[in-house]
Structure formats: C-alpha cells, structure tokens
Amino acid sequence: MDLTIGPRLSPAGGIAITGIDLAQPLTIAARDRIGTALCDHHIVVFPGQALSREQQYAFTAQFGEVERHGGHRAESKRREIAHVTANLDADGHPTDRVAAGANYRWHTDKPYYPTPPLLTTLHAVELPPAGGDTEFANTVLAYDALPPETKRRIAGLRVVFQWEAGRRNAGYYAAALPPVDHPLVRTHPETGRKALYLGNHARHVFGLPEAEGAALLDELLRHATQPHFVYVHRWRVGDLVMWDNRCLLHRAVANYEMTRYRRIMHRNVVRGTVPV
Ligand code: OGA
Ligand code: MN
C-alpha cells in the first residue's frame, strides 16, 4: 500500500491521503509528506481509519506534544487520551442543546491559551445518516483578499481572547480563564503567510474601545467566512481529519436531526507556538 495524495478538495483547501494505516507508526518520509500537505492545504482527510482513542493519540503525538484536555473544567477521566465531541446529554441521549455551544460557532481551537494549538485531529466514530458537516474557513486567503487600507488599519493590532467569551457568546455561564492577547494578523511559522486570527473566543481588540474592537472583529469574521473561503467536510465514519489551527476557522454545522441521531467524534490537539 502506497501513500497517495489526492487532488485539492476545494479552492479554500483540503486534501485526502489514502493508502496509509494511521494505526501504524509513520515512517519519517510519510510524516514529512503529511506535514507538507498540511502546510499546503491546511486540512488533511484520511478516509477509512479504524483507530482506538489510544491509536489516535499515538498518531497525533507524532506531530508534537498532545495537550491534556480540559484543564479548565471537569472532563472525562480519559481526558489525557482524547476528548469526545458529541451531541449527547448527561444521560447519553442525542440533544440539540450543543448547537448553541462554541463548536457550532466559527472558532479556532483554544486561542485563549498563551500557546494555542498547532493542529487538531478529529476522528468520526458515529455519525447521523445525513449532515453533521464541519466547515473550515481559510484565513490566509481571507487576509490576502482584504483591501490594502484594511490591512494597514489592522496591522499590529492584538486580539483579546478569553475562554469564557465563547461560553458567554453561546449563552451559558462558566468560570473564566484569564484573558490572553495574540496578533490579529499572525504569520504562519512554517509558510510565512499572514492569516487572520479571531473567532468565537475573541472578545475585543487591545487598545480599542471594546465596542469598536468587537465590531471590527465581527466585520472581519463575516469577511473571512464567505463561502469562497470555506471548505465543507462531509464526514464518513472512519474519517480522520487533521487541520491547521493557525490559518483556519472552523465550526460544526447543525444540519442534522440532532435530537434523533448521535454524532460522536474523538479529538486531540497538538500544542503550537506563541503566535507572532
Ligand atoms: C472541535 C470542533 C467540530 C465538529 O472538536 O474542536 O470544533 O464538527 N469540532 O465536531
Ligand atoms: Mn474546534
């Protein structure tokens, strides 16, 4: 079986890699080809992977330090292995309540950490018969398409991110983490490309009046998530999708019968570097 890299899946990004079993350790060559594909296409899809949580963790760990999940709140006992993203209530029944949650709003993973994640892996374990997509918006293309005067206006600005903000936007209370600030325009450490860094956990802009900063972030988010910057992933069970949090926003889409069908995904994130 030879690793095969398919055509780009959309103008906004995405590529599929087949002919590889992620349950086996990667060769150095395979690891490098996946890393290059991630830099070039931002979203890498590996269809048909049968992986335990431990195997997903081991695969992800070949790309860097896998973060413990949920240091800021109560989580499952297995949090060190993988986080479960699912539409289940406390009794394990499917619910649409999660549609109000942060995953269903445009975001990048954990930008409220001083050192936010480089990449996320998400493995589709159980899916509804239709829908339950994930959308990814390419914030490099979005930055490039900004008018020069907007690029000048936002150069050097810093965004204040806070975990609590995601929950408050989504309408429920949770204890806050201290806010952190990151550049609104960050430079990808591997490609050197500039990308917008914002999303659901972004509260306002450092040094601007709060309402003005929030309005600017809203305007940029609307710009960045236009359909031509977006790749829509339509899942099949066994897909493992790896994405680059440094140059994408993403969200789950509530386009399925949430109160009837379970949608269960396993997730790991790899720690990145301080955004510059
Ligand atoms: C995540 C996430 C989206 C989805 O796990 O970080 O945003 O479609 N998931 O489940
Ligand atoms: Mn996410």
Q: What percent of the chain has pLDDT over 70?
A: 91
Q: For 185-217, how does the pLDDT look when each residue is reduced to its tens digit (9 = 90+)? A: 999 999 999 999 999 999 999 999 999 999 999
For residues 188 and 247, is the Cβ–Cβ distance under 8 A? yes
Q: Probe ligand 1: pick from 43, 121, 244, 251, max atoms within 8 Å of CB?
A: 251
Q: How far apart are CA 9 and CA 109, in angstroms?
A: 22
Domain residue limits, the chain: 4-271
Q: Probe ligand 1: pick from 108, 267, 269, max atoms within 8 Å of CB?
A: 267
Distances (CA, A) of 25 to 62, 67, 124, 259: 8, 20, 20, 38
Q: What percent of the chain has pLDDT over 90?
A: 85
User: Please, what is the average pLDDT of the chain?
Assistant: 92
Letter string b/e over residues 55-90, b meaning 16 or more CB atoms within 10 A of that residue's CB: bbbbbbebbeebbebeeeeeeeeebebbbbbbbeee
Ligand lying closest to the C-alpha of residue 121: 1
What is the model's pLDDT at position 174?
A: 57
> How far is the centre of ligand 2, averaged over its atoms, from the C-alpha of 25 (Å)?
26
What is the model's pLDDT at position 75?
A: 45
User: 84 falls in which pLDDT band (50, 70, 90)?
Assistant: confident
pLDDT at position 268 over 80: yes
pLDDT at position 105 over 70: yes
Q: How far apart are CA 160 and CA 182, in angstroms?
A: 7
Nearest to 226 by CA among 150, 159, 139: 139
pLDDT at position 28 over 60: yes
> How far is the centre of ligand 2, averaged over its atoms, from the C-alpha of 250 (Å)?
6
Q: Which ligand 1 atom minimizes the distance to the CA of 233?
A: 8
Q: For 144-179, how does the pLDDT look when each residue is reduced to its tens digit (9 = 90+)? A: 999 999 999 999 999 999 987 555 555 555 566 889
What is the model's pLDDT at position 2?
A: 87
Average pLDDT of 219-224? 98
User: 81 falls in which pLDDT band (50, 70, 90)?
Assistant: confident
Enumerate residues 6+ apart whose C-beta is below 8 A from 78: 53
Average pLDDT of 36-53? 98
Please state which of the ranges 84-88, 144-148, 226-230, 250-254 shows the lowest mean pLDDT. 84-88
Is CATH 3.20.20.70 what the domain over 4-271 is classified as, yes or no?
no
What is the model's pLDDT at position 76?
A: 46
Q: Which ligand 1 atom minimizes the distance to the CA of 109?
A: 6
3-state secondary structure 207-231: CCCHHHHHHHHHHHHHHHCCHHHEE
User: 1 falls in which pLDDT band (50, 70, 90)?
Assistant: low
Nearest to 14 by CA among 235, 176, 196: 235
Establish how many alpha carbons lie within 13 A of residue 180's alpha carbon, considering only the half-sphere containing its beta carbon: 16
Q: How far apart are CA 26 and CA 34, in angstroms?
A: 10
For residues 262 and 118, is the Cβ–Cβ distance under 8 A? no
